[in-house]
């Protein structure tokens, strides 16, 4: 690209992001498409325009100056991140390998856990069915990657992002190589994804851990990177779950040393927040019926 030559790349890995419009993309499994792309470049005008676009992109994004700037930005962010006190317990809790083990065994392998898992999967499938089948879904946070097989039913490629290295290691061991799943460490508040670069962001079991400001910041970041909308779970009150939640909070506060980290919303609060961020609620399903706080929603972008 730096030499001003027109480029043809395969639509895999980071190549689409590097070319992003400044070259021709073909499927890695379609030799005829590659031949066709090469044939297009026999035309001198297309060759010249393609070469100019490639060089411009290389200078804009990959000059030494730009690369150094981006690296400095990344290091400054990392330093800043260490300075900030953790805003909520879920950020740090899953950094611990023992917690990862507990997440897998107790929550999803026990009898009760399996029942809950079935309820969660049914709710997610029902809501995903309201969203279009798409090319790219970002699963944030992906945890141990347990949603990847379900998401694969609706998307060509999945990007699994999570703040916890141990969770990502489990996801890699379980899923890598079996699914078109790319995994990386990232914070939901600062995703390493370009604006509108994924069709849908899927987010399960994070929102309920986030205090109001963090919830808003993460949803705004999801709004930035998604083209069509979000499939996201929230803890939502109804009168019965509200009373139960208050009772649980009261019990927890009374037991020494217990810390409460649960931030449910009333449906009206959620609709208002979604509206402010440019979403409308399209579908909603409960996990294990109306007695459970957890609901899965499809928030469609109002502009989609």
Ligand X SMILES: C[S@@+](CC[C@H](N)C(=O)[O-])C[C@H]1O[C@@H](n2cnc3c(N)ncnc32)[C@H](O)[C@@H]1O
Q: Does 155 bind ligand X (CB under 6 A)?
A: no
Q: Shortest Cβ contact with ligand X: which residue?
A: 143
Q: Does 187 bind ligand X (CB under 6 A)?
A: yes
CB of residue 168 to ligand X, shortest distance in Å? 8
How many Cα atoms sit within 13 Å of 201 on the Cβ side? 30
Q: Does 241 bind ligand X (CB under 6 A)?
A: no
Count CB atoms within 10 A of the CB of residue 300.
22
* Residue among 53, 164, 215, 264 that touches ligand X (CB under 6 A): 164
The set of residues, in sequence order, having a beta carbon less than 8 Å from that of 40 and lying 6+ positions away, is: 24, 46
- Angstrom CA distances, 243 to 238, 246, 249, 250, stand at 9, 5, 10, 11
Looking at the DSSP assignment, which residues form a beta bridge with residue 158?
Answer: 137, 181
Q: Which is nearer to ligand X, 167 or 198 (CB)?
A: 167
Which residues, numbered 75-94, are part of the site for ligand X (CB under 6 A)?
A: 90-91, 94
* Residue among 104, 174, 189, 269 that touches ligand X (CB under 6 A): 189
Q: Does 222 bind ligand X (CB under 6 A)?
A: no
Would you give the DSSP letter of residue 133?
Answer: P
Helix (H) or strand (E) run with residue 143 in it: none
Q: Does 206 bind ligand X (CB under 6 A)?
A: yes
Q: Does 293 bind ligand X (CB under 6 A)?
A: no
Q: Does 226 bind ligand X (CB under 6 A)?
A: no
Please list the alpha-helical segments (H only) found in the chain. Answer: 15-19, 31-40, 44-62, 64-83, 89-93, 97-102, 108-109, 111-128, 148-152, 165-175, 212-225, 239-254, 267-276
Q: What are the tokens at 257?
A: 């040393």
CA–CA distance, 134 with 68 (Å, rounded to integer)? 35
CB of residue 108 to ligand X, shortest distance in Å? 8
* Residue among 7, 137, 167, 235 that touches ligand X (CB under 6 A): 167
CB of residue 140 to ligand X, shortest distance in Å? 6
Which residues, numbered 131-150, are part of the site for ligand X (CB under 6 A)?
A: 141, 143, 146
User: Where on the chain is the footprint of ligand X (CB under 6 A)?
Assistant: 90-91, 94, 141, 143, 146, 162-164, 167, 187-189, 204-206
């Amino acid at each position: 690209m730096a030499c001003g030559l027109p480029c043809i790349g395969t639509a895999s890995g980071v190549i689409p992001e590097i070319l992003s419009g400044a070259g021709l993309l073909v499927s890695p499994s379609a030799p005829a498409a590659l031949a066709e792309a090469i044939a297009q470049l026999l035309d001198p005008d297309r060759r010249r325009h393609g070469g100019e676009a490639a060089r411009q992109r290389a200078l804009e994004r990959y000059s030494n100056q730009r690369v150094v700037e981006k690296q400095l930005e990344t290091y400054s962010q990392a330093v800043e991140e260490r300075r900030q006190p953790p805003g909520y317990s879920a950020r740090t809790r899953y950094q611990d390998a023992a917690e990862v083990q507990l997440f897998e065994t107790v929550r999803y392998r026990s009898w009760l856990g399996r029942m809950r898992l079935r309820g969660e999967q049914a709710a997610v499938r029902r809501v995903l069915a309201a969203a279009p089948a798409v090319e790219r879904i970002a699963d944030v946070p992906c945890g141990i990657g347990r949603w990847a097989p379900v998401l694969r039913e609706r998307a060509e490629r999945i990007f699994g992002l999570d703040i916890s290295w141990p969770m990502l290691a489990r996801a890699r061991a379980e899923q890598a190589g079996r699914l078109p799943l790319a995994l990386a460490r990232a914070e939901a508040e600062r995703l390493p994804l370009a604006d509108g670069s994924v069709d849908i962001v899927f987010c399960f079991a994070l929102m309920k851990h986030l205090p109001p400001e963090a919830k808003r910041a993460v949803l705004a970041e999801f709004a930035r990177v998604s083209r069509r909308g979000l499939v996201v779970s929230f803890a939502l009150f109804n009168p019965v779950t509200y009373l139960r939640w208050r009772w649980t909070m009261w019990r927890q506060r009374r037991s020494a040393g217990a810390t409460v980290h649960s931030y449910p919303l009333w449906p009206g609060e959620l609709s208002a927040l979604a509206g402010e961020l440019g979403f409308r609620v399209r579908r909603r399903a409960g996990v294990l019926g109306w007695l459970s706080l957890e609901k899965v929603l499809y928030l469609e972008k109002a502009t989609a």
